[in-house]
Amino acid sequence: MIRECWSPSLRRPTAPHFRVTPVQGHLGSGTPRFRDTPVQGHPGSGTPRFRDTPVQGHPGSGTPRFRDTPLSPNNAVHHSTTAPSCSLCGSMPIGGCPSRAAFLPTATLGHRSPRHHTLVRGGSRPSPTFSARTRFPTRAVVAMASPPPSPITFVTGNANKLSEVQAILSTGDPPLVITSKALDLPELQGTPAAIAEAKARAAVEAVGGPVLVEDTSLAFSALGGLPGPYIKWFLEALGVDRLGTLLAAHEDKSAHAVCTFAYCGGVGQPVTVLEGRTPGVIVEPRGETRFGWDPVFQPDEGGGRTYAEMPAAAKNAISHRGRALAKVRAFLHTGGGGGGSDDS
Ligand SMILES: O=c1[nH]c(=O)c2ncn([C@@H]3O[C@H](COP(=O)(O)OP(=O)(O)OP(=O)(O)O)[C@@H](O)[C@H]3O)c2[nH]1
Ligand SMILES: [Mg+2]
């Protein structure tokens, strides 16, 4: 038996594999704060598996801030293999869930718009539902993806960034075409998320439509994460050849390259921040000095090469930017950017 139903509070279309859950402390705040949980059942789909969890410490900022949280086996399992209906979104698996994500879009069953399959463990009560793990109402799992809003303008003053972003988004699955605008946006001091958010707010004022911006950090472990988002100024002051001297007194040469994207759908709309990071070590410069600090960053997964020694596609496959853009793509293609029938 297939049981499906919907809750009137469900507004935001997302892909079938996301659970969107309001998070403690933000209920009724008027700001959409979600935890998006890609789930099992989409092997090889190219969809990143992560849970974006709003991060504490930004009360009243009006902006959902996410951090990546490794999935535990429990919350990674969207469609229970044992329950007769999905233990989280409540859909009845059709033809092989969880391995094939075979859920019947509610819209195909006669609803006017895509709606959530509400939790019915054992096939009984429909909604509203509470996540057993969080005790907060499960706000939406919508069974249809929606196209991203367009056009999205990527605002940056950095041509190398732009070319990487275009290469990654246009060759990804599904491809995403963006326009661009070269603007040198003001950059505040603060966390990468706060800086990216401020850039997005400035960009949306300048463009007047959906914008994407990013801020890149290079964080040295031995220096407590510095230079971090200020790497640009350290690079300008020292040059790539002398960047490593910052770590001369330290044995620990480990570092993280971090890319923090911020998306805003329009003036006055919330900003969503998504991050990708790549661990590595700081080494003597090797390879082409084409882009910033690429010659001194040797990613752990780069086979001993620096970013500068890697072909573009190989860098993009493991880079901080590639990882962040995988999340951006998932967010936009699942209606997170407002491309669907979001009327909440
Ligand atoms: O070797 C590199 N590989 C990279 O993958 C990479 N990504 C950024 N950067 C550099 O790191 C600083 C970030 O500063 P940043 O985020 O403020 O960028 P930006 O001011 O150049 O552009 P934007 O802020 O207009 O977008 C700037 O010096 C960038 O050139 C990179 N260097
Ligand atoms: Mg900048």
Question: For 128-185, how does the pLDDT look when each residue is reduced to its tens digit (9 = 90+)?
Answer: 333 333 332 222 222 235 566 668 999 999 999 999 999 999 887 778 889 999 998 8
Taking CA atoms only, the protein residue closest to ligand 1 atom 9 is 292
Give the pairing of strands 66-69 and 51-54: antiparallel
Given the CA of residue 184, which atom of ligand 1 is nearest to it?
25
Residue 197 C-alpha to ligand 1 middle, in angstroms? 16
Q: For residue 233, what pLDDT is reported?
A: 96
Q: Buried (b) or exposed (e) across 6-27, using 16+ Cβ within 10 A? A: bbeebbbbbbbbbbbbbeeebe
What percent of the chain has pLDDT above 90? 47
Given the CA of residue 214, which atom of ligand 1 is nearest to it?
26
Residue of 158, 168, 234, 291 best suited for mutating to test ligand 1, as the one with most atoms within 8 Å of CB: 158
Strand order in the sheet with 20-22: 20-22, 34-36, 51-54, 66-69
Residue 216 C-alpha to ligand 2 middle, in angstroms? 8
What is the C-alpha to C-alpha distance for residues 198 and 262, in angstroms, rounded to an integer? Answer: 9
Residue intervals of the chain classified under CATH 3.90.950.10 are 153-333
Top-level class of domain 153-333: alpha beta
Asked if residue 167 has its Cβ within 6 Å of ligand 1, the reply is no
Q: For residue 172, what pLDDT is reported?
A: 75
Q: Match 């992560």 to its residue by tokens.
A: 50
Asked if residue 217 has its Cβ within 6 Å of ligand 1, the reply is no
**Can you give the length of the chain in residues?**
344
Q: For residue 176, what pLDDT is reported?
A: 85
Question: How buried is 239 (Cβ within 10 angstroms: 0-12 exposed, 13-18 middle, 19+ buried)?
Answer: exposed
Residue 259: which residues within 8 A CB-CB, separation 6 or more?
A: 214, 215, 216, 217, 275, 276, 277, 319, 320, 321, 323, 324, 325
Asked if residue 294 has its Cβ within 6 Å of ligand 1, the reply is yes
pLDDT tens readout for residues 203-218: 999 999 999 999 999 9
- The helix, strand and coil proportions of the chain, stated in percent and rounded to the nearest 5, come to 25, 20, 55
Asked if residue 216 has its Cβ within 6 Å of ligand 1, the reply is yes
Mean pLDDT along residues 38-64: 36
Asked if residue 325 has its Cβ within 6 Å of ligand 1, the reply is no
Host H or E run for residue 33: none
Q: Tell me the average pLDDT of the chain.
A: 67
Rounded to two decimals, the ipTM of the complex is 0.99
Given the CA of residue 297, which atom of ligand 1 is nearest to it?
1
Q: Are 176 and 329 in contact (CB under 8 A)?
A: yes
Q: For residue 148, what pLDDT is reported?
A: 66
Q: Which has more pLDDT, 145 or 270?
A: 270
Cα–Cα separations (whole angstroms), residue 327 to 121, 165, 213, 255 = 30, 13, 14, 22
Residue of 161, 184, 234 best suited for mutating to test ligand 1, as the one with most atoms within 8 Å of CB: 161
Mean pLDDT along residues 325-337: 87
pLDDT tens readout for residues 248-262: 999 999 999 999 999
Taking CA atoms only, the protein residue closest to ligand 1 atom 3 is 294
Q: For residue 95, what pLDDT is reported?
A: 29
